[in-house]
Amino acid sequence: MATIPVDPLEKVVVKLPPPAFSDIAKASNDLINKDFYHAAAAALEVKLKAPNGVSFTAKGTSAHEGPVSSSLEGKKALANGTHSLPFPSSLVHCLSLPIRLFESDYFQSFPHFRCLRSGLQVHYRSSTFSPSDFQPKRVIIFLTYRRPGISITQSWNTANLLSTKVELDNTFASGLKTEVLSNFNPAKGNQGQKLNFHFKQANFHGRVFADLNPSGAVSTTADAVLSHEGFLVGGEVGYDVQKAAITKYSAAVGYTTATYNAAITATNSLNVFAASYYQKVNAAVEAGAKATWDAKQGSAVGLELAAKYKIDPASFAKAKINNLGIASLAYNTKVNRGLTFGIGGSFDTQKLNEAGHKLGTSFTFEG
Give the model confidence (pLDDT) of 107-160 as tens digits: 333 333 333 333 444 443 333 434 344 333 333 344 444 456 889 999 998 888
In a domain, residue 5? The reply is no
pTM, 2 dp: 0.75
Same domain, residue pair 353 and 298: yes
Same domain, residue pair 54 and 110: no
Same domain, residue pair 170 and 247: yes
Same domain, residue pair 162 and 197: yes
Domain boundary among 146, 161, 187: 146
Give the model confidence (pLDDT) of 12-63 as tens digits: 444 678 999 999 999 999 999 999 999 899 999 999 998 888 899 999 999 8
Same domain, residue pair 123 and 26: no
Same domain, residue pair 291 and 341: yes
Same domain, residue pair 170 and 209: yes
Q: Which contiguous run of DSSP H or E holds residue 109? A: none
Same domain, residue pair 112 and 251: no
Same domain, residue pair 186 and 311: yes
Same domain, residue pair 320 and 358: yes
Write out the chain's pLDDT in tens, 367 residues. 334 444 444 344 446 789 999 999 999 999 999 999 998 999 999 999 988 888 999 999 998 888 889 999 998 887 654 444 444 433 333 333 333 333 333 333 333 333 333 344 444 333 343 434 433 333 334 444 445 688 999 999 888 889 999 999 888 888 899 999 999 998 888 888 999 999 999 899 999 999 998 888 899 999 999 999 999 999 999 999 988 999 999 999 999 998 999 999 999 999 999 999 999 999 999 999 999 999 988 878 999 999 999 999 999 999 999 999 999 999 999 999 999 999 999 999 888 888 788 999 999 999 8
Same domain, residue pair 141 and 260: no
In a domain, residue 231? The reply is yes
Residue type at 265 in one-letter notation: T
271 touches 295 (CB < 8 A): yes
The CATH number that applies at residue 355 is 2.40.160.10
Burial category of 156 from C-beta neighbours within 10 Å (exposed 0-12, middle 13-18, buried 19 and up): middle
E strands present in 34-137: 42-49, 55-62, 68-78, 82-85, 91-94, 120-125
Whole-number Å distance between alpha carbons of 141 and 156: 43
Percent helix, strand, coil in the chain, to 5, is: 5, 60, 35
Domain boundary among 146, 178, 196: 146
Same domain, residue pair 54 and 164: yes
For the chain, the domain total comes to 2
In a domain, residue 1? The reply is no
The residue segments making up the domain with residue 237 are: 21-80+147-366
In a domain, residue 2? The reply is no
Which DSSP string corresponds to 167-221?
EEESSSSTTEEEEEEEEEETTTEEEEEEEEEEEEETTEEEEEEEEE-TTS-EEEE
In a domain, residue 6? The reply is no
Which DSSP string corresponds to 312-325?
ETTEEEEEEEETT-
